Amino acid sequence: RELPGKSEPHLFRPGNRSKPTPRLPGRQIRYGFRTGPL
């Protein structure tokens, strides 16, 4: 699931792909989009 490079494209969901999500530590990576601490 958390694959290097492979997991990143998965973060771009057809609803949150407003900006290319940068590789951020865990928290935002899990959300897949820039949302900050939910």
What per-residue confidence (pLDDT) applies to 12?
Answer: 53
Phi/psi at 10 (5° precision): -70, -25
What per-residue confidence (pLDDT) applies to 25?
Answer: 56
Burial class (CB in 10 A: 0-12, 13-18, 19+), 31: middle
**Domains of the chain by residue range:** 1-38
**Span 13-31, pLDDT tens digits:** 555 555 555 555 555 555 5
Band of pLDDT at residue 38, cut at 50, 70 and 90? very low
What per-residue confidence (pLDDT) applies to 6?
Answer: 56
